[in-house]
């Protein structure tokens, strides 16, 4: 008697998704605990510090910064709301961002369910794509890292993933295949378009180059895709109206400040110059005559632009100036620019190019990140193969292609780093999961020839992008970042150790040399500090502050005449604060030599730069009255 062996009941997709989301939750809870216990928990990058200070000021009743926005306003606005509700600590925004990260995984799952081609009969293939993508999203460590940073990245990823999922749903709705529903109620296309516009408009306040591109491209796509039925017009109009809800306030604010049209913030032109101007490598590389910090570069770029034009300029005019300058440079050698774009494309698909939140540094104190093992150089080749397959016989190809193209162009048009690439990661993960599911389907049907060809392409791409990073990356900036944190908290020993490591990793970087020299001077190692300042001055004599600080180091060693020459150089600097400092030091030198008249002259010169400065005013009165300052 034959007995039929009962089949094992398949695990329901909802159960698998719940397990994936629970794993994501556990990872984030562990990360949060490790982050709060780590000495890095209170460390803020320069960008984060700007956002934090602006938000604390506004939430405390202060006004918006004067003038045009020189930063993207999304994240400060988010922090203002969080600080109003929960106070000004770092824990609340991190908890909210980690929750948003889990919700983003669910959005990736929802988008993945719609990607299986019609030829792949049944719901199982779509569920497989969605579940593989959700699992891959959990295993990509950069998502978790940036959810712990006070940066807009988590919000940008969320808005991009949400708008992508909704665009897929709207496309199916307009084709009459599957209406968009909220519970059991159908959402009309105009409402979908409006919500899509709101998502894009909010995203544009955090990443203008990406979301403004989508706001321009999606109405054109709706027209091209659905013009035969004329069903595109109302959703497209609603999309633009929804985007205007978020874009109108900064446009009006900037117009009042400048009298001109500035969409979100006035620093895009200079970023374009960094990524495409002379000496561009494809990654972030500030011009040699400018500081690397956000605030320093804005000040230095304005000073340089005013010096080259011979007139005072607003920040918006500075941005326009560098945009024109870069376009002229590209026009002189378009072939070189096209090669640079190719280099940036390879870099976009390749290794991580760390921003200041360097995952290698954080792994030391947040060990859970080590278990999130899926690297981007694996995701990208699989995604390229998935895209090739989808373009041949996939579904929603136009939506996927449009969002992916906008994500890639928005980055390589400027410069590449991990933070700017992150919003594209969910789509690349979805394409990679598409390839994985397709490969499993081919194996089950024993169609191995085509699979072997696509696998060869994936392997070749992996070897290309993993063995040729495109630019040299270094952890030097991260250690400088740590050194500044330790110095701020008066831990000189750790600061010296961090700055020394930053210098060892990049001994030719002026910022690393200067930071190391300063901590050596602070700890009384004057001769070693002077040697470091000499090295920095030799590499960058055009930095007036380097010249002045080198002079201070020589002064402490008794080499006053050499120091005075450097102070005189600093007194002719472009920046007022450096001129004032150099004049003050020249006054001190004159006092040491007993030349009161010369000292008064230099004090007066310094007061021209910083009128009414209390210490200088007091010094002038004492000198003029015959006293000793």
DSSP letters spanning 185-206: EEPPHHHHHHHHHHHHHHHHTT
624 domain-assigned: no
pLDDT of residue 1: 46
Whole-structure pTM value: 0.86
Give domain status of residue 528, yes or no: no
- Would the pLDDT of 456 be above 80? yes
pLDDT of residue 154: 97
pLDDT band at residue 627 using 50, 70 and 90 as cut-offs: low
| Mean pLDDT confidence for 299-317 | 83
272 within some domain: no
Mean pLDDT over 98-109 rounds to 98
**For the ranges 188-202, 283-297, 319-333, which has the lowest average pLDDT?**
283-297
Per-residue DSSP letter, 140: B
Phi, psi angle pair for 544, to nearest 5°? -65, -35
Mind giving me the DSSP string for 258-293?
A: HSS--SS-S-HHHHHHHHHSTT--SS----TTS-SS
Band the pLDDT of 442: cuts 50, 70, 90: very high
Of 344-353, 422-431, 479-488, 597-606, highest mean pLDDT: 422-431
Coil, helix or strand at residue 173: helix
pLDDT of residue 258: 78
Arithmetic mean of pLDDT, 131-158: 97
8 Å CB contact between 181 and 187: yes
- Report the chain's mean pLDDT, rounded to a whole number: 88
Specify the range with the lowest mean pLDDT, choosing from 6-10, 280-284, 400-404, 439-443.
6-10
Task: Tell whether 603 is covered by a domain.
Answer: no
Q: Is residue 138 part of a domain?
A: yes
3-state DSSP call for residue 314? coil
H or E stretch at 181: strand 181-182
Please compute the mean of the pLDDT values over residues 605-617 and round it to a whole number.
87
CA-based nearest residue to 75, from 93, 102, 101, 95: 93
Question: Using CA atoms, how far apart are residues 629 and 616, in angstroms rounded to an integer?
Answer: 10
Domain holding 238, by residue range, is 13-263+351-467
Q: Which residues pair with 373 in a beta bridge?
A: 140
**Residue 334 forms part of a structural domain:** no
pLDDT at 544 over 80: no
In a domain, 426, yes or no: yes
Q: In this model, does residue 628 exceed pLDDT 70?
A: no
Residue 397 in this model has a pLDDT that exceeds 70: yes
Residue 332 domain-assigned?
no
Average pLDDT over residues 498-506: 90
Tokens of 271: 């970023």
- Average pLDDT for residues 375-387, to the nearest whole number? 96
pLDDT tier, 474 (very low <50, low <70, confident <90, very high otherwise): low
Residues recorded for the chain: 629
Number of domains comprising the chain: 1
């Amino acid at each position: 008697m034959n007995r039929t062996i009962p089949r094992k009941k398949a695990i329901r997709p909802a159960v698998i998704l719940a397990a994936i989301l629970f794993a994501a939750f556990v990872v984030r809870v562990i990360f949060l605990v490790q982050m709060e216990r780590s000495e890095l928990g209170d460390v803020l990058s320069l960008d984060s510090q700007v956002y934090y200070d602006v938000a604390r000021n506004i939430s405390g009743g202060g006004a918006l910064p004067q003038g045009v926005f020189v930063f993207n306003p999304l994240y400060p606005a988010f922090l203002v709301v969080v600080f109003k509700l929960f106070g000004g600590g770092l824990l609340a925004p991190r908890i909210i961002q980690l929750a948003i990260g889990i919700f983003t995984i669910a959005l990736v799952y929802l988008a993945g369910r719609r990607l299986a081609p019609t030829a792949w009969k049944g719901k199982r293939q779509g569920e497989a794509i969605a579940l593989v993508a959700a699992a891959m999203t959990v295993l990509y460590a950069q998502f978790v890292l940036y959810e712990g940073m006070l940066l807009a990245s988590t919000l940008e990823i969320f808005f991009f993933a949400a708008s992508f999922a909704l665009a897929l749903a709207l496309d199916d709705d307009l084709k009459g295949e599957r209406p968009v529903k909220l519970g059991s109620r159908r959402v009309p296309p105009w409402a979908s378009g409006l919500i899509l516009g709101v998502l894009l408009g909010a995203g544009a306040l955090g990443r203008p180059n990406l979301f403004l591109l989508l706001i321009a491209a999606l109405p054109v796509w709706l027209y091209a895709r659905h013009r035969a039925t004329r069903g595109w017009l109302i959703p497209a109009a609603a999309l633009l109206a929804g985007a205007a809800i978020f874009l109108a306030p900064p446009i009006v604010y900037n117009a009042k400040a400048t009298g001109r049209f500035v969409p979100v913030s006035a620093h895009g032109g200079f970023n374009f110059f960094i990524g495409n101007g002379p000496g561009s490598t494809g990654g972030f590389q500030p011009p040699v005559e400018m500081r690397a910090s956000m605030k320093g570069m804005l000040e230095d770029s304005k000073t340089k632009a005013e010096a080259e034009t011979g007139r005072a300029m607003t920040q918006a005019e500075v941005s326009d100036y560098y945009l024109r300058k870069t376009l002229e440079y590209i026009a002189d050698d378009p072939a070189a620019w096209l090669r640079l774009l190719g280099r940036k494309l390879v870099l976009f698909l390749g290794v991580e190019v760390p921003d200041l939140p360097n995952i290698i540094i954080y792994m030391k104190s947040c060990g859970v990140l080590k278990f999130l093992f899926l690297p981007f150089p694996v995701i990208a080749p699989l995604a390229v193969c998935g895209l090739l397959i989808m373009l041949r016989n996939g579904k929603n190809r136009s939506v996927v292609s449009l969002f992916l193209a906008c994500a890639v162009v928005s980055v390589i048009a400027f410069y590449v780093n991990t933070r700017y690439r992150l919003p594209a990661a969910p789509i690349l993960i979805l394409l990679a999961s598409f390839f994985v599911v397709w490969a499993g389907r081919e194996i089950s049907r024993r169609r191995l020839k085509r699979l072997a060809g696509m696998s060869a392409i994936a392997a070749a791409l992996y070897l290309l992008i993993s063995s040729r990073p495109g630019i040299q990356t270094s952890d030097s900036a991260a250690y400088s970042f740590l050194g500044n944190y330790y110095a701020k908290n008066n831990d000189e020993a750790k600061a010296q150790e961090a700055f020394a490591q930053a210098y060892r990793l990049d001994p030719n970087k002026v910022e690393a040399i200067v930071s190391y020299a300063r901590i050596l001077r602070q700890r009384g190692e004057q001769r070693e500090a002077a040697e470091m300042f000499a090295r920095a001055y030799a590499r960058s004599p055009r930095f007036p502050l380097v010249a002045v600080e080198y002079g201070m180091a020589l002064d402490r060693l008794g080499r006053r005449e050499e120091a005075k020459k450097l102070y005189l150089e600093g007194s002719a600097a472009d920046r007022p604060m450096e001129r004032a400092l150099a004049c003050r030091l020249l006054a001190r030198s004159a006092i040491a030599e007993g030349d009161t008249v010369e000292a008064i002259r230099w004090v007066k010169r310094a007061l021209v730069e910083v009128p009414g400065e209390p210490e200088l005013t007091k010094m002038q009165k004492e000198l003029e009255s015959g006293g000793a300052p």
